[in-house]
Chains A and B, each alone.
Chain A
Amino acid sequence: MPTVHDWINNPLGIVEDIFAQSNCSPDWETKVLEYFKEKLKDNEAASWVPSLNDVPVHYLKANSLVKFRCFIQDMFDPEFYMGVYETVDPSSKSKVLRSGKYKDVAECGHQVDLNTKNAVTLERQTFYCVPIPGESPWVKESYSCSNPARVVPSTSYAPCRHKRSYEEDEDMETQPHKQKEQLAGPQGTTDIHGSGDPKRLETEAPSSLSNAASGCSSPLDLNFPLPGEKGPACLVKVYEEWELFKVNDILEVYGILSVDPVLSVISEDKDSSLVDPMDCTESVEEQRVHCPPASLVPRLHMLYAHRLQHNNPLLPPAASEASSGFLNDVVSVRGELLGYLTHVLLGDALAAEYLILHLISTVYARRDVLPLGKFTLNLSGCPHNSTYTEQLYRVIQQLIPSSFRLGMSLHNMNNLRLVPRKDYTANRLLSGVLQLAPNTSLFLDETQLEQGQLDSTGVRNITALGNLISWQKVDYDFNYHQMEFPCNINVLIASEGKSLLPCDCHVRLQPQLAPPNLEQYISTIQVSLSPSLLNKFRIYLSLLRTLDYSISEEVTKAVEDDFVEMRKDDPQSISAEDLHRLLVVARLLSLSVGHTTLSRDRWMRAKHLETLRTNRTEQQKCVNGNEP
């Protein structure tokens, strides 16, 4: 099976081969794409490809095929490159046509003839990609475990060992500290032409890393949306159909890794840029951002990519495939989950019910400005000055693939950049906390709110949160104008009293029990949960989001009658807004038991839930008096 290794190890060689065979006919590009698509069709084969998410860049070999699960943070300007160029051997004067596709640099051991008729200029687009913001640790772990590029027994690789570089050795010994030892010794020779000097790369990559860590005074800002994120950022070069991708999409990219040190040399070499008068088009800041050292921000030349519907490793990429089998025991899983969440919510079953509805909600359509299906939940009555909200967030984080907890402290609101802003000096979009992938959960912790004054940034941030909740959109700040980016973020607000932010649904938490040690209590619940059940919960929550839903004519009629009836008794009891909410609750309730249509029973159940909820709020009003 040498081919298996070739297409992972030396994809450029294959590209070159196909290019050479095609004799300059233009269909070679499609052939290349088909070749790799064919290879990657096999799920198992795809899993042999090492992932940039799990393996540090300097352990990966240059110009090999890697994959990257990422989030498009910014799109740079398209660039023109030498698609086809001609090299001249100075000794023999023979000319060879070469392809510049999937490469950053034109290797020319020989002279490059730039003025030939055969040269073709092509266009490609660069995306700045970062790991999916807020991805839960369990997702990362699960993905890296399922990637056999690290764990596959090495025996099968033995015959072709001479071709392999160090990542196979890494496969044998999974402990990272040993990998470093391996790194020091050069491994065999490579027969890959055109990949530069692998030995040099091996030694250089880590050293430049340490340089960056020690020598560089201002470390490169990798522009992650969320504070405290780690992972590689990557410049993905897209060759086909880049208009199909959007900012904030999550992708799985298969591409050729390029960490050629030439890239960094060019940007760091101040002398060469001074020589070139045209280089003044870019400011220093811009260069830092657009041509960061390849060792820190590798380039990835995209061969194949698909947009991910979700980033739940337990589900197949097309979630609908799994649904048929799983739907059978949906009800039992729901019961278990309800019980679990009830415990977590200190015995409040109603709040647990609503939390499930919230967790499976998603914006499924938009009617002019109105997003449909959003279900922002405000869980009030959370104890102030305790770690309860933090514990609650931990539980939620365990259940869903990506989430972020934003403590709404005065300091955070006044200082954090929530809304992404365009930095024209560096020509990039400075990310903000609200630049999140679809279906990310945003946990707003209002219990951290303290007395003080919001400054103008704070007011803007609060407005942005309000807009996000009401319209599911974020207005990115482009200095001269604002641009609206629709989003799909589940917002859960934990607060003491009713939240100052708008919300779709407000549930007052009524703890049935008061454990003396909250922390211990929650961790006991978490420990008692079996991993298989936890995985079922995770599948349940991700899967139900993807289901379609409809209302039959008959039920529509019934709902209408019901509404009219309710209004007749007491017009104040239900407004149009209440009906909106009721319809969403009914929808989520049906979906939560795996039903894709609304039944009468579910409708009644939804009404019942709503009544229970409103009664509780009313009660609270009576008790507290001025509680709104």
Chain B
Amino acid sequence: MSSPSATPTKGKRTRGSNPPTPTQSEPVVFMKLMVVINGEICCSLPAPLNEIDMSSPLTYGTPSSRVEGTPRSGLRGTPVRQRPDLGSVRKARQVDLHSDHANGPEAPASEHSVGQKLVIWGTDVNVGTCKEKFQINVVGDPVLNVNCEHLQSFDADLYRQLIAYPQEVIPTFDMAVNELFFERFPDSVIEHQIQVRPYNALKTRNMRNLNPEDIDQLITISGMVIRTSQLIPEMQEAFFRCQVCAFSTRVEVDRGRIAEPAVCRNCNTTHSMALIHNRSIFSDKQMIKLQESPEDMPAGQTPHTTVVYAHNDLVDKVQPGDRVNITGIYRAVPIRLNPRQSNVKSVYKTHIDAIHFRKTHEKRLHGLDEEAEEKLFTEERVRTLRELAAKPDVYERLSSALAPSIYEHEDIKKGILLQLFGGTRKDFSQTGRGGFRAEINILLCGDPGTSKSQLLQYVYNLVPRGQYTSGKGSSAVGLTAYVMKDPETRQLVLQTGALVLSDNGICCIDEFDKMSDSTRSVLHEVMEQQTLSIAKAGIICQLNARTSVLAAANPVESQWNPKKTTIENIQLPHTLLSRFDLIFLMLDPQDEAYDRRLAHHLVSLYYQSEEQLEEEFLDMAMLKDYVAYARSYIEPRLSEEASQALIKAYVDMRKIGSGRGMVSAYPRQLESLIRLAEAHAKVRFSDKVETIDVEEAKRLHREALKQSATDPRTGFVDISILTTGMSATARKRKEELAQALKRLIQSKGKVPTMKYQQLFDDLRAQSDVAITKDMFEEALQALTDEDYLTVTGKTVRLL
């Protein structure tokens, strides 16, 4: 590649010796005409690029001049629009091409199979769709977006030419499209002539790879917009008038410069021509600064930036903060010689003339935009992922790859793994229940220093849309959203908090127990409805917060008290607790074998070399990709057996309790089971939830329950600890006490009132278990509720 200014010469040479491909091969190019009507309909028009009149100069903008005589009235009225994004048109005009007419064959009829909303734009016109097309043409943007990938699969040579000489090839495309269009719809009126916008050029993806060889070529890069300038009016055509004789002339811009006429052609006065600004033609231009997206960057380096110019209707299409894919022509501004200086700065300034913007979103976990997602995984990567998925022990492998520096806690890691994958999103809004949550929420509670925070930190680093907050340091608004005055625009803007930012990700909340009650209460809505309602400063809205919550809590007494229930230990409202699918206890097991393994693990952490460990575990990147792939492509559904197994599991769970007169499962637990089973199916890359998934879900659920919902008094699993905050035995005990108290009072005979203290002492004397004042009061309260007695001050009165 020679210097940038030398390229046009080269381009011309190639063109002269090598006529454009469309005329040679059978030119049926399938192009997507992405004409959007009110943002709804997309049309795919397979368009044969034939019948390009190559004999005429590239006056693609004014085909009417070439088709005189043909009755195309609509065509003549269509204004030409200059394409500043392609640079000077004049250069293209100089291209001398062979006259070469080629008549493409009729497009095969099979092309009709392009679906309902699609019309075929080929030689074989489907008349029935004409009307539709007419509408399209009237209201839509006269822009034809061409996916370069399609072009490449059609004709690699044409693609190569497009990449190498976009400045020349795109006008020919424009020409072909306009000709075809006006041939088909002679009467249509559009804003200006159709412009072709290629996108998705495979040339360059990453800003870091740009090098001098890319200059003047068509490239596609991804990045983030960091700054946009004001609109810059750029002169396209200057209008000069002679101040002596009022003779006027127009001068076109050539490579960013206007050659001021030195002499008036009419009266021959020198330096009499003056520029008349408001009769000159200007086009819109905007400078955009694009920065490398953080994912593309090698560690330890700062991001690169590139200047992009947007022209005409691309101006103001993007905002700072947007992630975009930009297709455009990479330019280097040639060095200008300054006659006043003997030396010149030898650095070129570079920029990109944007032809096409495509907004992308950071959806590494949830892909909705299929095309963007495709690029994330190369075929090779997908193959490795699939291979991994086919292994029987993939579940164990992945869970051990999760935070390898944290020892054991296998089930917790498995739970977090399932949380990463999530369930399948279901929509029951038809039947009035709204969406079912697919996200799995997990609470870790346990002794301080059991690496809960480390686990949270790991998860936060693993997921692309993770947020890490500490319960101590976050307020309700910090979690949800707050309204503030923008310092620049003085307008009220909604600033989103951690929960909204982690939409489609995981929100890690450390020190969950230290959160204030008001803060915690906002979590109720998020954790079940997955939305966030805000009514502040005149802004009333509902934001999506489809986030999984991974929370860690310490016991109130700093050390876990095994004699107390979970609720009593962490003092969280049971309404919130029941929204967690899994609640794990991270306790020091205090058992010798465990200690030994733990010690071994830690010591090896300190002396094993990096390589040794890498062999043992899957690396983090692989895990990331695996999760991302599963989340975007796998949507498991329940199979028949699995549903039966789930039903059975649920019924079993209910049964356990019913024997002792308590309920041990609620529909929420069933939902949790379903989610877990689905997540497990996702781990296996399976589209069906099968019995093994249900088995694992059941096991994990039971494991978590066993840890967190065991009644310390009886040793039985009791779900009501989590759902009502009190174990069934505790409730029973309370009832018994109330009855005992009632009997005691009845045994006293007909006494309308009695002393409070006296009654308490009597009850204590009678009972064989220790009765605290609290218990006594509870019993009294229960009897009051029964309308058996009332308590006033220090006296108890029978009713």
Interface centre among A100, A119, A549 (most CB of B within 10 A): A119
The one of A77, A429, A471 that contacts B304, using a Cβ cutoff of 8 Å: A77
A262 partner residues in chain B, CB cutoff 8 A: 341, 343, 345
CB distance from A556 to the nearest CB of B (A): 5
Taking a contact as CB atoms under 8 Å apart, the answer to whether A368 and B458 are in contact is yes
A457–B125 Cα distance when bound, in Å, is 66
Taking a contact as CB atoms under 8 Å apart, the answer to whether B348 and A81 are in contact is yes
A551–B608 Cα distance when bound, in Å, is 9
Taking a contact as CB atoms under 8 Å apart, the answer to whether B5 and A114 are in contact is yes
- Tell me, yes or no, whether A501 is within 8 Å of chain B by CB: no
CB distance from B723 to the nearest CB of A (A): 32
B304 partner residues in chain A, CB cutoff 8 A: 77-78
B535 partner residues in chain A, CB cutoff 8 A: none
Chain B window 591-627, contacts with chain A (Cβ cutoff 8 Å), 1 for yes, 0 for no:
0100110111011111100100100000010000000
Taking a contact as CB atoms under 8 Å apart, the answer to whether A117 and B307 are in contact is no
A326 partner residues in chain B, CB cutoff 8 A: none
CB distance from A297 to the nearest CB of B (A): 16
Known A368-B458, A481-B294, A587-B606; contact A560-B596, beta-carbon cutoff 8 A: yes
Known A77-B304, A112-B337; contact A365-B610, beta-carbon cutoff 8 A: yes
CB distance from B402 to the nearest CB of A (A): 9
- Tell me, yes or no, whether B767 is within 8 Å of chain A by CB: no
Q: Count of chain A residues with Cβ under 8 Å from any Cβ of B?
A: 86
Q: Which of B170-178, B403-411, B633-641, B657-665 contacts A (4 or more CB under 8 A)?
A: B403-411
A583–B404 Cα distance when bound, in Å, is 18
B224 partner residues in chain A, CB cutoff 8 A: 480-481
CB distance from A225 to the nearest CB of B (A): 14
Known A80-B332, A560-B596; contact A278-B256, beta-carbon cutoff 8 A: yes
- Tell me, yes or no, whether A75 is within 8 Å of chain B by CB: yes
A148–B303 Cα distance when bound, in Å, is 39
Known A278-B333, A365-B610, A424-B289; contact A123-B345, beta-carbon cutoff 8 A: no
B303 partner residues in chain A, CB cutoff 8 A: 478, 483
Chain B window 339-359, contacts with chain A (Cβ cutoff 8 Å), 1 for yes, 0 for no:
001111111111100000000
CB distance from A130 to the nearest CB of B (A): 14
- Tell me, yes or no, whether B280 is within 8 Å of chain A by CB: no
- Tell me, yes or no, whether A247 is within 8 Å of chain B by CB: yes
Residue of A at shortest CB range from B350?
A: A80
B334 partner residues in chain A, CB cutoff 8 A: 114
Taking a contact as CB atoms under 8 Å apart, the answer to whether A121 and B3 are in contact is yes
A368–B304 Cα distance when bound, in Å, is 27
CB distance from A268 to the nearest CB of B (A): 13
CB distance from B293 to the nearest CB of A (A): 9
A111–B337 Cα distance when bound, in Å, is 9
A425–B289 Cα distance when bound, in Å, is 10
The one of A85, A107, A481, A549 that contacts B342, using a Cβ cutoff of 8 Å: A107
A115–B596 Cα distance when bound, in Å, is 75
Taking a contact as CB atoms under 8 Å apart, the answer to whether A567 and B590 are in contact is yes
Taking a contact as CB atoms under 8 Å apart, the answer to whether B603 and A575 are in contact is no
Chain B window 293-332, contacts with chain A (Cβ cutoff 8 Å), 1 for yes, 0 for no:
0100111111111110000000000001100000000001
Q: Count of chain B residues with Cβ under 8 Å from any Cβ of A?
A: 81
- Tell me, yes or no, whether B6 is within 8 Å of chain A by CB: yes
Known A108-B342, A367-B605, A576-B451; contact A121-B212, beta-carbon cutoff 8 A: yes
A81–B449 Cα distance when bound, in Å, is 56
Interface centre among A196, A424, A550, A564 (most CB of B within 10 A): A564
Residue of B at shortest CB range from A242?
A: B301
- Tell me, yes or no, whether A559 is within 8 Å of chain B by CB: yes
Taking a contact as CB atoms under 8 Å apart, the answer to whether A121 and B590 are in contact is no
Taking a contact as CB atoms under 8 Å apart, the answer to whether B342 and A82 are in contact is no
- Tell me, yes or no, whether A276 is within 8 Å of chain B by CB: yes
Known A556-B607, A564-B595; contact A81-B347, beta-carbon cutoff 8 A: yes
B348 partner residues in chain A, CB cutoff 8 A: 79-82, 121
Taking a contact as CB atoms under 8 Å apart, the answer to whether A564 and B592 are in contact is yes
A280 partner residues in chain B, CB cutoff 8 A: 229, 232, 287
Residue of A at shortest CB range from B460?
A: A369
Taking a contact as CB atoms under 8 Å apart, the answer to whether A281 and B349 are in contact is yes
- Tell me, yes or no, whether B227 is within 8 Å of chain A by CB: yes
Chain A window 470-492, contacts with chain B (Cβ cutoff 8 Å), 1 for yes, 0 for no:
01000000111101011000000
Known A277-B256, A368-B404; contact A103-B592, beta-carbon cutoff 8 A: no
Q: Is the interface of B mostly helix, strand, loop or mixed?
A: mixed
- Tell me, yes or no, whether B769 is within 8 Å of chain A by CB: no
Taking a contact as CB atoms under 8 Å apart, the answer to whether A112 and B344 are in contact is yes
Taking a contact as CB atoms under 8 Å apart, the answer to whether A75 and B301 are in contact is yes
CB distance from A281 to the nearest CB of B (A): 5
A424 partner residues in chain B, CB cutoff 8 A: 226-227, 289
Taking a contact as CB atoms under 8 Å apart, the answer to whether B347 and A79 are in contact is yes
CB distance from A248 to the nearest CB of B (A): 7
CB distance from A461 to the nearest CB of B (A): 13
Contacts of A372-430 to chain B: CB distance below 8 A: 372, 422, 424-425, 427, 429
A123 partner residues in chain B, CB cutoff 8 A: 211-212
Residue of B at shortest CB range from A291?
A: B345
B600 partner residues in chain A, CB cutoff 8 A: 556, 560
A368–B454 Cα distance when bound, in Å, is 10
A575–B349 Cα distance when bound, in Å, is 60
A117–B256 Cα distance when bound, in Å, is 23
Chain B window 395-425, contacts with chain A (Cβ cutoff 8 Å), 1 for yes, 0 for no:
0000000011101000000000000000000
A480 partner residues in chain B, CB cutoff 8 A: 224, 226, 320-321
- Tell me, yes or no, whether B457 is within 8 Å of chain A by CB: yes
- Tell me, yes or no, whether B338 is within 8 Å of chain A by CB: yes
The one of B2, B211, B346, B595 that contacts A105, using a Cβ cutoff of 8 Å: B346
- Tell me, yes or no, whether B751 is within 8 Å of chain A by CB: no
Residue of A at shortest CB range from B213?
A: A121
- Tell me, yes or no, whether A228 is within 8 Å of chain B by CB: no
Taking a contact as CB atoms under 8 Å apart, the answer to whether B407 and A576 are in contact is yes
CB distance from B37 to the nearest CB of A (A): 33
- Tell me, yes or no, whether A321 is within 8 Å of chain B by CB: no
Taking a contact as CB atoms under 8 Å apart, the answer to whether A369 and B457 are in contact is yes
Taking a contact as CB atoms under 8 Å apart, the answer to whether A82 and B610 are in contact is no
- Tell me, yes or no, whether B692 is within 8 Å of chain A by CB: no
- Tell me, yes or no, whether A221 is within 8 Å of chain B by CB: no
A486–B338 Cα distance when bound, in Å, is 46
A123–B345 Cα distance when bound, in Å, is 14
Taking a contact as CB atoms under 8 Å apart, the answer to whether A117 and B6 are in contact is yes
B563 partner residues in chain A, CB cutoff 8 A: none
Chain A window 269-286, contacts with chain B (Cβ cutoff 8 Å), 1 for yes, 0 for no:
000100011111100000
Residue of A at shortest CB range from B404?
A: A368
- Tell me, yes or no, whether A533 is within 8 Å of chain B by CB: no
B300 partner residues in chain A, CB cutoff 8 A: 246-248, 485-486
CB distance from B299 to the nearest CB of A (A): 8
The one of A75, A243, A486, A587 that contacts B302, using a Cβ cutoff of 8 Å: A75
B722 partner residues in chain A, CB cutoff 8 A: none
Residues of chain B whose beta carbon lies under 8 Å from any beta carbon of chain A: 1-6, 210-212, 215, 224, 226-227, 229, 232, 234, 256, 287, 289, 291, 294, 297-307, 320-321, 332-338, 341-351, 403-405, 407, 449-451, 454, 457-458, 461, 473, 588, 590, 592, 595-596, 598-600, 602-607, 610, 613, 620
17 contacts between A and B (CB under 8 A): A78-B304, A106-B343, A116-B3, A243-B301, A247-B300, A367-B404, A368-B620, A369-B461, A425-B227, A427-B305, A483-B303, A549-B607, A551-B607, A559-B599, A563-B598, A564-B596, A568-B592
Known: A425-B227, A550-B607, A560-B599. 14 other contacts (CB 8 A): A82-B335, A104-B346, A106-B344, A106-B345, A121-B3, A196-B343, A243-B301, A247-B302, A248-B300, A281-B349, A368-B405, A481-B294, A563-B595, A564-B596
Residues of chain A whose beta carbon lies under 8 Å from any beta carbon of chain B: 74-75, 77-82, 85, 100, 103-109, 111-112, 114-123, 196, 243, 246-248, 260, 262-263, 265-266, 272, 276-281, 365, 367-370, 372, 422, 424-425, 427, 429, 459, 463, 471, 478-481, 483, 485-486, 549-551, 556, 559-560, 563-564, 567-568, 571, 575-577, 579-580, 583-584, 587
Complex A-B, nearest 8 residue pairs according to Cβ-Cβ distance, in ascending order: A246-B300, A563-B599, A121-B212, A119-B3, A560-B599, A551-B607, A367-B405, A106-B346
